[in-house]
Amino acid sequence: MAEIAVKTIKCDACGASITGISTWKPSVCDYCGSEVIVELPAASMSAVAERPRCVGFRLDAAQAGERLRAWLKSSFWSPGDLAATARTDEQAAIYVPAWEAQVEVETAWQGARSETRHRRVSKTRTNPQTGQTERYEEDEAYQEWYPASGTRQGSYAEVINASGALTQDEVSALMPWDTGAEAMEEDLADALNRGRRMEEPSVGAEEAVRRAREIIEGRERSECQTLIERLDSASTRFGEFLTQRVIVPVWVFRYNYKGKVQRAVMNGQTGELHGERPVSGLKVALAIGIPLAVIAAIVIVSMLMK
């Protein structure tokens, strides 16, 4: 790895620490657009401890920007002028810190399944001819519940967010990354030289395992719910966690819409996108208003015809 001079900034608004080449002149935070950023003293890249495995970018700035604009346009609910407001100078290629957590699990579940049965019931009714109350019998359906239980095995390789600014939901939405040997960035220093940035991790291995357990427990529960009509409990046992630091490539976009900063993130390898698209008030008003106007017209016409 070539040795280069780097600088790190810390954002007071979102807490992210971002490292870039020493000639980088940041005015706002790449993640949240805040101007409240503090520059830490310059350092040498070699002074930074050994770097973890780093997945390389496959989409360049132009390709990523193009995809974002297509995505903004593709939502019917987005305001028509939104794609035009997305500026390429508000996108950053960031190597985002993460943990890869691999584990085998076994989940024991308990629940119940039901069967529809019929029983003969006695009812009363008034005979319209005689006016008398009479008894009659009828079949009535009811559900009978039977206890059921079982176990299932699962194998997980989760990417756990170690960014101080991105949320786990944002990172999970971009999964998976190809972490094979040929997908790795060969020279991180060279990548920083070309204007890319790297975020310093805010989450340690222990916390990553805790977060992975929570996510996997939720997934296991959902899986068990597909196995049985009514799930009462699911208890997951974890094997030994294998954790490894990894850096994943993410394009971070900030775009202003009517004074509000929105963020979208893109998997720098696959182009998978996640973010909130602003909703056009006019389109929503029209969508609700047109059916209401039609109903009103029908009511008026039917009243006039009486």
Shortest separation between residue 37's beta carbon and Zn ion, angstroms: 7
Identity of the residue, 34 or 172, whose beta carbon is nearer to Zn ion in the bound complex: 34
Spatial neighbors of 268 by CB under 8 A, at least 6 apart, are 57, 58, 59, 64, 93, 248, 249, 250, 251
Whichever of 11 and 208 has its CB closer to Zn ion, that residue is: 11
Pairing of strands 242-257, 5-11: unpaired
Q: Pick the closer one to Zn ion by CB: 14 or 68.
A: 14
Question: Which residue from 47, 61, 19 is spatially nearest to 193, judged by alpha carbons?
Answer: 19
> Is the C-alpha dihedral spanning 273, 18, 247, 197 positive or negative?
positive
Min. distance of Cβ 200 from Zn ion in angstroms?
A: 13
Nearer to Zn ion, 261 or 279 (CB): 261
Nearer to Zn ion, 198 or 234 (CB): 198
At closest approach, how far in Å is the CB of 32 from Zn ion?
Answer: 3
- Quote the least distance from Cβ 28 to Zn ion, whole Å: 8
CA distances from 125 to 120, 122, 139, 142, 153 (A): 16, 10, 15, 22, 56
* Cβ at position 198, least distance to Zn ion in Å: 15
Nearer to Zn ion, 6 or 252 (CB): 252
- Minimum CB separation of residue 291 from Zn ion in Å reads 42
Q: What Rg, from alpha-carbon coordinates, does the chain have?
A: 29
Under 8 Å between Cβ of 156 and 103:
yes
Token pair in block for residue 49:
């401890």
Which residue number, 26 or 271, has a Cβ lying nearer to Zn ion?
26
Asked if 32 and 165 touch (Cβ cutoff 8 Å), the reply is: yes
Minimum CB separation from Zn ion for residue 252, in Å? 10
- Are 270 and 248 contacting, i.e. CB atoms less than 8 angstroms apart? no
Enumerate the β-bridge partners of residue 151.
108
CB of 19 to Zn ion, least distance (A): 14
Which residues form the interface with Zn ion (CB under 5 A)?
A: 11, 13-14, 29, 31-32, 34
- Specify the residue, 29 or 246, whose C-beta has the smaller distance to Zn ion: 29
Angle of CA points 160, 22, 185, to nearest 5°: 45
